[in-house]
Amino acid sequence: MNKNLLTIEDICRELGIGRSTAYKLLKKKKIPSCRIGARLVVKKEALKRYIEEQTS
């Protein structure tokens, strides 16, 4: 997988959250995502922006 893309598992690990919480963030479009095949993926930059917004 491209090292600029994160899976749900990666997001959970980075944020210290569960899968259901991660899916809720993506569904509410708090973190932009796209589907590639059967997988939801997030750009690293999008996750970084989300973290910055939450901590500022």
For the stretch 33-42, pLDDT in tens is 999 999 999 9
What is the pTM for the complete model shown? Answer: 0.88
pLDDT tens string 10-55: 999 999 999 999 999 999 999 999 999 999 999 999 999 999 999 9
In which domain, by residue range, is 46 found? 5-55
In angstroms, the CA 16 to CA 2 distance is 22
16 phi/psi in degrees, rounded to 5: 70, 40
**Amino acid identity of 46?**
A
Domain count, the chain: 1
